């Protein structure tokens, strides 16, 4: 409980200085609670939201006056979140929270594709309480829809495939006197998600298709914090990178030429092409991780 006001204060001050959008080309010192990138395609929105925060952002977003006196909570920790919207259909991919007190009790929340999958019990390894969760790869399809490509309406098969591994660590740094004791906490979700889009239709003498390559997100960013028992303010730091929504979606239409008895390309073009955005929080392995993020 002693940690709570310190942590909330620390988070608030951190976010207050991180309110501006982060330029992909710069090397930011901090990031906001969540990043998102959005584009329109086929009349629907395609976007990615990724969040990694030291504490549940609800603390900041809900004014205490709205519901009477503010009540404290014993939940203090980190949360990570990834959701995407593909052609207007919203999908939650990953929701994870590891509370600092809960971590010791083995109560971490982990939702994968909207389902609670398991609780990762902490193990005391090398002086730290650690939890780790390597998740089976996930596939989610989105409801069918169609898009006119030339003279044919193409039925689209679209969806998301994702993989993730999450680790969280809590390391007590005991010191005497007790007020100099601190706790180092860290969460590192490693998440990758791609979107797939494929459509094909053949109608007597016409055929058309849609294809795409969507790197929805590639993230290997960690957030860590050091919390003292009264002597110092809490501090937080991010490391790693987050690349979002690099994509190319194309279409083609062919007609059958009975004279040559073969198909001829009547039209081809791109519905959308996005270079994506990559946020880097310090070099990883001596190289810029954003250099390899492309559609």
Binding to another protein, residues 89-108 (CB under 8 A): 89-92, 95, 106
**Using rule CB under 8 A, residue 127 touches another protein:** no
**Using rule CB under 8 A, residue 116 touches another protein:** yes
Query: What is the closest distance, in whole angstroms, from the C-beta atom of residue 218 to another protein in the complex?
Result: 6
Query: What is the closest distance, in whole angstroms, from the C-beta atom of residue 278 to another protein in the complex?
Result: 13
Both tokens of 47, joined, read 């976007």
Both tokens of 173, joined, read 């740094």
The three-point CA angle 264-270-272 to 5° equals 160
**Using rule CB under 8 A, residue 75 touches another protein:** yes
Three-state DSSP state, 62: coil
Using CB under 8 A as the binding criterion, the count of chain residues that bind another protein stands at 72
Query: What is the closest distance, in whole angstroms, from the C-beta atom of residue 142 to another protein in the complex?
Result: 8
**Using rule CB under 8 A, residue 52 touches another protein:** no
Where do the DSSP E strands lie in 54-107? 77-86, 89-99
Three-state DSSP state, 290: helix
The DSSP output letter for 135 is P
Query: What is the closest distance, in whole angstroms, from the C-beta atom of residue 68 to another protein in the complex?
Result: 6
For the stretch 237-258, what's the b/e string if a residue is b when 16 or more beta carbons lie within 10 angstroms of its beta carbon? bbbbbbbbbbbbbbbbbbbeee
**Using rule CB under 8 A, residue 147 touches another protein:** yes
**Using rule CB under 8 A, residue 63 touches another protein:** no
**Binding region for another protein (CB under 8 A) out of 24-32, 37-45, 179-187, 231-239:** 37-45
Q: Tell me which residues in 167-226 interact with another protein (CB under 8 A).
A: 192-194, 196, 198-204, 208-209, 215, 218
| H or E element, residue 102 | helix 100-105
């Amino acid at each position: 409980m002693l940690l709570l006001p310190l942590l909330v204060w620390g988070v608030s001050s951190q976010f207050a200085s991180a309110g501006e959008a982060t330029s992909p080309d710069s090397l930011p010192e901090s990031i906001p609670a969540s990043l998102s990138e959005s584009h329109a395609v086929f009349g629907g929105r395609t976007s990615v939201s990724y969040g990694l925060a030291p504490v549940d952002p609800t603390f900041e977003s809900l004014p205490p006056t709205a519901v009477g006196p503010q009540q404290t909570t014993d939940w203090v920790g980190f949360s990570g979140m990834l959701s995407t919207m593909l052609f207007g259909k919203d999908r939650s991919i990953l929701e994870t929270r590891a509370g600092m007190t809960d971590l010791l009790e083995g109560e971490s929340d982990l939702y994968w594709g909207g389902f609670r999958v398991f609780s990762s019990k902490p193990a005391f390894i090398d002086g730290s309480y650690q939890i780790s969760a390597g998740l089976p790869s996930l596939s989610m399809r989105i409801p069918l829809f169609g898009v006119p490509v030339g003279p044919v309406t193409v039925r689209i098969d679209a969806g998301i495939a994702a993989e993730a591994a999450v680790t969280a660590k809590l390391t007590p740094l005991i010191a005497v006197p007790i007020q100099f004791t601190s706790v180092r906490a860290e969460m590192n979700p490693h998440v990758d998600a791609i979107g797939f889009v494929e459509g094909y239709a053949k109608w007597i003498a016409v055929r058309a298709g849609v294809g795409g390559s969507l790197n929805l997100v590639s993230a290997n960013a960690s957030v860590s914090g050091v919390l003292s028992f009264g002597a110092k303010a809490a501090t937080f730091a991010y490391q790693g990178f987050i690349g979002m929504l690099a994509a190319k979606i194309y279409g083609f239409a062919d007609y059958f030429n009975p004279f040559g008895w073969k198909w001829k390309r009547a039209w081809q073009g791109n519905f959308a092409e996005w270079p994506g955005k990559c946020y880097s929080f310090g070099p990883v392995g001596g190289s810029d991780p954003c250099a390899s993020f492309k559609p």
